[in-house]
C-alpha cells in the first residue's frame, strides 16, 4: 500500500469502542479484512529502493543465541535441545545426528506476531477478532508473513547506547528508563537518517548486552523476578511519531521494545500489535550490527527476515540478516 494514502495520526478515522489511532479497516481491500497490517507498506517499490543500501556486501545476522535466556520468566519454558545419535539405534547403517528442539518463542530473539497480543481492555486482536474467537478463526497466523514473502526492506538503527554515552546519560537496561521521541529524532539527525515509509526501525538499548555480561544470580534478580526494563516511552507523542513515519515494523534488543512498566493508557503493544498490525521485534542481537554501522558510518541497511512458516503461529524467531 502507498503510505501517502494513509491519514496522519490526527486525522485517523474513529473506530467504535476504540481509542483514537486505531487503524482497523485502513488496510482492508475489496471488503476482505486485512491480516498484514503495516507490512502492507513493504511494497515492491519500497523493496527495490531498499536494495540501494547494499554497497559493500557485508552482512550481519540478528538472531541472539537460542540458549542465551536461561531463566524462566512468567512461566515461559527456555530452550530444550537434544541431539539424536542414530548410530545408537538398532540396525541403522549411517553416521547421522538429528536435532530435537523445544522452546517458547518469547524466550529469545522474536517477532511478536498478530496472534500474540490483544488490547488489554477488551481482548481484541488486530482488525477486531476477540480472544475467544481467535484460535478458531484461522486468522492472523505467523504463516501469513511467509505467504507475503517475509519481511524485506530498508532497516535503520538508532543506537541509544552510543547516544547515551555521548550525552553523559547513565542508566541501567534493567530499569524503567524511557527513551523519548526527542531523543529518537536527535539520534536520527546525528546518524544522518531520513526516515522513509516502510522502514524497519531498530533501537539498541543495551538489554541483551547487559544480559550477556552478567551472571545467573543477576539474571534471576533483574529478569526472571523483576518487571522494569529500558525501552521506548509509551505515550501519545510516541504513537503519533511512529504512525506518521509509517514504519513497517519496529524492534530492537530489549525484551519489550517499549519501556516496562508500561503506561496502561498508551501501551505500545496495544496500539502496534492490536490496532495497527505492526510486528514488534524483541531481543534481537544488534551488537555486531551497531559495530558495523559505526565502522561504515551509516545506520541504514538492507533488511531481510524469514519468519517460521508455522500455520496458526503466534510468534517466530526473526531469522533476520542486515546487508550493507
The β-bridge relationship of strands 151-159 and 200-204 is: parallel
Residue 246 has pLDDT above 90, yes or no: yes
| 100-153 confidence digits (pLDDT tens) | 999 999 999 999 999 999 999 999 999 999 999 999 999 999 999 999 999 999
Whether 178 and 164 have beta carbons less than 8 Å apart is answered as no
153-199 confidence digits (pLDDT tens): 999 999 999 999 999 999 999 999 999 999 999 999 999 999 999 99
Domains detected in the chain: 3-72+105-323 (3.50.30.50)
Residue 281 Rama label (left phi>0; alpha psi -120 to 50; beta):
beta
Residue 113 has what pLDDT?
A: 98
In contact, 202 and 284? CB cutoff 8 Å: yes
From the CB of residue 31, how many other CB atoms can be counted at a distance below 10 Å? 5
Q: Exposed/middle/buried for 203, CB within 10 Å: 0-12, 13-18, 19+?
A: buried
Arithmetic mean of pLDDT over the chain:
97
Which residues 6+ apart lie within 8 Å of 151 measured at CB? 39, 42, 111, 145, 200, 248, 249, 279, 303, 304, 305, 307, 320
Q: Give me the DSSP letters along 167-207.
A: HT----TTS-PEEPHHHHHHHHHHTT----TT-EEEEE-SH
pLDDT at 74 over 90: no
Give the containing element (helix H, strand E) for 281. Answer: strand 280-282
Report the distance separating Cα 67 and Cα 8, nearest Å: 42
DSSP conformation letters of 22-62: --TTTT-BTTBPPS-GGGGG--HHHHHHHGGG-SS--EEE-
Count of Cβ atoms closer than 10 Å to residue 11 Cβ: 7
Q: Each residue of 283-321: pLDDT tens digit?
A: 999 999 999 999 999 999 999 999 999 999 999 999 999
Q: How confident is the model at residue 71 (pLDDT cuts 50, 70, 90)?
A: confident
Question: Helix, strand or coil for residue 291?
Answer: helix
Alpha-carbon distance of 9 to 318, in angstroms, equals: 29
Pairing of strands 200-204, 249-252: parallel
Segment 239-259 shows an average pLDDT of: 97
Q: Measured on CA atoms in the order 101, 109, 9, 149, is the torsion positive or negative? A: negative
Per-residue confidence (pLDDT) for residue 73, from 0 to 100: 77
Spatial distance between the Cα atoms of 271 and 238, rounded to a whole number of angstroms: 11
Average pLDDT score over residue span 59-78: 89
pLDDT one-digit tens code per residue, 212-231: 999 999 999 999 999 999 99
Residues 6+ apart with CB under 8 A from 175: 228, 229, 230
pLDDT at 85: 96
Residue 324 pLDDT: 98
Q: Which pLDDT belongs to residue 75?
A: 81
Q: What is the pLDDT of residue 111?
A: 98
Amino acid at each position: 500500500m502507498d503510505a501517502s494514502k494513509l491519514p496522519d495520526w490526527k486525522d485517523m478515522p474513529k473506530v467504535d469502542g476504540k481509542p483514537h489511532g486505531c487503524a482497523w479497516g485502513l488496510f482492508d481491500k475489496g471488503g476482505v479484512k486485512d491480516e498484514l497490517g503495516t507490512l502492507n507498506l513493504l511494497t515492491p517499490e519500497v523493496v527495490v529502493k531498499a536494495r540501494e543500501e547494499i554497497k559493500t556486501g557485508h552482512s550481519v545476522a540478528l538472531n541472539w543465541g537460542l540458549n542465551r535466556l536461561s531463566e524462566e520468566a512468567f512461566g515461559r519454558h527456555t530452550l530444550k535441545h537434544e541431539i539424536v545419535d542414530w548410530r545408537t539405534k538398532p540396525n541403522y547403517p549411517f553416521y547421522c545426528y538429528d536435532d530435537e528442539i523445544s522452546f517458547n518463542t518469547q524466550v529469545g530473539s522474536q517477532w511478536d506476531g498478530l496472534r500474540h497480543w490483544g488490547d488489554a481492555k477488551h481482548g481484541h486482536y488486530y482488525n477486531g477478532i476477540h480472544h475467544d474467537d481467535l484460535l478458531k478463526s484461522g486468522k492472523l497466523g505467523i504463516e501469513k508473513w511467509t505467504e507475503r514473502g517475509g519481511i524485506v526492506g530498508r532497516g535503520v538503527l538508532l543506537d541509544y547506547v552510543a547516544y547515551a554515552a555521548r550525552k553523559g546519560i547513565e542508566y541501567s537496561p534493567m530499569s524503567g528508563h524511557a527513551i523519548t521521541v526527542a531523543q529518537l529524532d536527535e539520534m536520527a539527525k546525528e546518524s544522518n537518517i531520513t526516515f522513509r515509509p516502510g522502514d524497519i526501525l531498530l533501537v539498541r538499548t543495551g538489554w541483551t548486552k547487559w544480559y550477556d555480561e552478567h551472571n545467573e544470580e543477576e539474571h534471576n534478580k533483574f529478569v526472571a523476578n523483576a518487571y522494569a526494563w529500558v525501552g521506548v516511552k509509551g505515550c501519545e507523542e510516541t504513537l503519533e511519531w511512529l504512525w506518521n513515519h509509517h514504519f513497517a515494523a519496529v524492534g530492537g534488543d530489549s525484551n519489550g521494545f517499549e519501556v516496562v512498566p508500561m503506561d496502561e493508557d498508551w501501551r505500545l503493544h496495544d496500539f502496534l500489535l492490536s490496532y495497527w498490525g505492526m510486528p514488534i521485534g524483541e531481543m534481537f542481537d544488534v551488537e555486531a550490527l551497531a559495530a558495523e554501522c559505526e565502522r561504515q558510518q551509516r545506520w541504514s541497511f538492507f533488511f531481510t527476515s524469514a519468519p517460521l512458516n508455522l500455520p496458526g503461529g503466534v510468534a517466530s524467531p526473526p531469522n533476520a540478516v542486515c546487508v550493507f
